[in-house]
Amino acid sequence: MTRWVAGVEYHGTRFSGWQVQAGRPSVQGALEDALSSVAAHRVETICAGRTDAGVHAFGQVVHFDSDAARIPYAWLLGTNSRLPPEVSLRWVQPVESPDGAEFSARFSAVSRRYRYVIHNHRARSALLAERATWFAHTLDADAMHRAAQVLVGEHDFSAFRAAECQSTTPMRNLQSIRVWRSGSFVVLDIRANAFLHHMVRNITGTLLEVGTARKPETWVAELLAERDRTRSGMTAAAQGLYFVGPDYPAAFGLPTPQDPWFPA
């Protein structure tokens, strides 16, 4: 039995999220059906991070086990030919387990990174529909960036946690967060050891209040200390969120994560 690892890119709009749900289209369901067809046996996948309905991914990572005699290119070409156009494998390779540590797409990840893309323009774009969140009011990206820096480090992120979050602890180690402007886009990049449910979207919604000057930069620190979700900003829309991907120890020999191409 060989453990395989694959990088997956998807446009999440028409899916109910990553995870299989009865009677609803999911990225995991589409991928497992395609992989199973190539393998000629049922394949089950484990992902680095589950995404919600409407959320996209540049570099989701999954692992699966198979005893089918297939070379990496056969997995790649065969699976992609059976996937809907919104989902694509970007790479596939077998993974070794150094020092007896079995690879897991979920548990071997040392960090995860998301990007949130805001189209900050007075008029909505037809071509960017479902690929970026449109926000018509002018945003101060520098103020958003400054306000966000208080979130770096290990904290209780209850103020940015969805009510339905099933994590046993609100503690997370946020390693970096950056907000910048690129033309008519305002982009937020965030990396942490792991994320709570809706954590990135809730942080983004909070920073939008700062970006429009409705709230001062110091407000984010107050929310973090108060740990009250009802006091923080709205949950930003799903369509602006991209799972950039996870990071793994170099010993596993996986491809180096690439920076997202969007926005330029």
Digit-coded pLDDT (tens) for 47-66: 999 999 999 999 999 999 99
Digit-coded pLDDT (tens) for 78-128: 999 999 999 999 999 999 877 767 999 999 999 999 999 999 999 999 999
What secondary structure does DSSP assign to 68-103, as a single string?
Answer: S---HHHHHHHHHTTS-TTEEEEEEEE---GGG---
- Band (pLDDT 50/70/90 cuts) for residue 264 is low
- Band (pLDDT 50/70/90 cuts) for residue 263 is confident
Average pLDDT over residues 218-229: 97
Catalytic positions, written as ranges? 52
Structural domains present in the chain: 2-108 (3.30.70.580), 111-243 (3.30.70.660)
Sign of the C-alpha dihedral computed for residues 134, 139, 145 and 146 taken in this order: negative
Q: pTM (2 decimals)? A: 0.96
Digit-coded pLDDT (tens) for 134-185: 999 999 999 999 999 999 999 999 999 998 898 999 999 999 999 999 999 9
Sign of the C-alpha dihedral computed for residues 101, 260, 43 and 55 taken in this order: positive
- Phi-psi region at 10: left, alpha or beta (left = phi > 0; alpha = psi -120 to 50): beta
